[in-house]
Amino acid sequence: MARQILRNRISRKRILNAFAILIAVGSTHIALAAGISFPTTNFTIMNPDTGATIGQGRYKIESVADGAILHGTSRYYDGQSDVETGRLLGIGEGLPKLVEFDHTFYNADGSIQARAHADLRSGAATCTNTTGGTRSDSSAVLQIPEDTWAGASVVIPIQHFLRAGDKELPPLHVFNCAPDPKIFAISLQTDPGVAVWTPYGGQALRVEARPDFGWLNLVVAAFVPRLHVWFDPGNGWEFIGDEAARYYQGTKIMLVKSRGEASTAQLGKNRK
């Protein structure tokens, strides 16, 4: 009888422990969902100077056991394509942490045109560029500030700040290949108010992100490329598009959220 009572107690303890683990895992996913709002979204890729459509893209976030993975694929009508991946872990005040980033740009024949990769935990980063058929690789071990993002993941903290009602958006750090591995401090500036963003056909708020060089800003302002990001205030500050160079000194492109699902068919040949 005593042995049976002991077995029952052990079984209940195991059940409670398992239940506690499930609660912990479940809480992590809930917190992650609360910190990220990046539903699967199709984008039209446009030439910002002419307004011509030059491709289609798709971004989504996939939940995994220890965080989430941001996936982005883009296919251009001339045969070129891009694949972006960002691994997100942990929750800090509603925000995850970017721990690994990769963005590879392909030529129409499938060869690599450029690539940016960073392990934000170790600081190891590599940049690949191909010019005139010659490939060059540069590597570095960087000091990575805690608030460092890269590629499309920079949308996550900006959206968080907007939802929190911040009047002045705090600065961030971003990793980029320019053309070697570098960490940039960037400042964020919102437009005075919401306005119709014509390519999207609806109300939006534009946020400008640009490298912050301190007192040198007045000198280099005209030579520093800008990143513009748009959010829909009527739909939970959903990310609806951006305008930037495809990569360092690359073609300027504009991503605009597709209102319908017609663009989905164009994604069938995207790289996995």
Q: How many CB atoms lie within 10 A of CB 77?
A: 12
Q: Does a structural domain hold residue 101?
A: yes
The verdict on 6 and 100 lying in the same domain is no
Instruction: Kindly write down the DSSP assignment for every residue of 30-54, as one continuous string.
Output: HHHHHH-----EEEEEE-TTT--EE
- Both tokens of 72, joined, read 């982005």
| Rounded mean pLDDT, 127-152 | 91
pLDDT digits (tens, 9 = 90+) for 1-44: 444 444 444 344 332 333 222 222 222 233 333 455 667 899 99
Number of domains within the chain: 2
Q: Is residue 236 part of a domain?
A: yes
Say how far apart CA 217 and CA 189 lie, in whole Å: 14
Q: What average pLDDT score do residues 152-177 get?
A: 91
Residue 76 has pLDDT above 90, yes or no: yes
Judgement on whether residues 144 and 27 belong to the same structural domain of the protein: no
Q: For position 174, what pLDDT does the model report?
A: 92
272 domain-assigned? no
Instruction: Check residue 156 and give its pLDDT.
Output: 92
User: Virtual CA dihedral for 95, 98, 99, 103, nearest 10 degrees?
Assistant: 160
The verdict on 130 and 230 lying in the same domain is: yes
| Same domain, residue pair 14 and 69 | no
Question: In this structure, are residues 270 and 81 in contact, taking their beta carbons and an 8 Å threshold?
Answer: yes
Asked, for residue 201, whether it belongs to a domain, the answer is yes
Question: What residue numbers bound the domain in which 3 lies?
Answer: 1-35
> Per the domain annotation, does 70 fall within a domain?
yes
> Looking at the structure, do residues 132 and 256 belong to the same domain, yes or no?
yes
Asked, for residue 226, whether it belongs to a domain, the answer is yes
**Confidence class for position 67, pLDDT limits 50, 70, 90:** confident
Residues 12 and 81 in one domain: no
- Residue 85 included in any domain: yes
Higher pLDDT among residues 8 and 130, named by residue = 130
Can you tell me which residue has the tokens 């980029």?
176
Domain check: are 44 and 29 in the same one?
no
On the CB side of 199, how many CA atoms lie within 13 Å of its CA?
Answer: 25
Q: Does the pTM of the predicted model rise above 0.85?
A: no
State yes or no: pLDDT of 232 exceeds 50. Answer: yes
Asked if residue 254 and residue 128 are part of one domain, the reply reads: yes
The whole-number pLDDT of residue 268 equals 36
Kindly indicate the confidence band of residue 95, based on its pLDDT and cuts at 50, 70 and 90: confident
Residues 1 and 89 occupy one common structural domain: no
Furthest C-alpha separation in the chain: 85
Residue 238 lies in a domain: yes
- Whether 32 and 91 have beta carbons less than 8 Å apart is answered as yes
For residue 158, the model assigns a pLDDT of: 94
pLDDT computed for residue 113 by the predictor: 93
The C-alpha atoms of residue 64 and residue 184 are separated, in whole angstroms, by 29
Same domain, 137 and 254: yes
Query: Quick one: pLDDT at residue 177?
Result: 92
Predicted pLDDT at 33 = 39
At 130 the pLDDT is 83
Specify the residue for token string 């409670």.
Answer: 16
The whole-angstrom separation of Cα 240 and Cα 237 is 9
List, in order, residues 6 or more apart from 248 with CB less than 8 Å away. Answer: 114, 176, 177, 178, 179
**One domain, residues 30 and 67:** no
Task: Mark whether 27 and 5 lie in a shared domain.
Answer: yes
Q: In the prediction, which pLDDT does 212 show?
A: 67
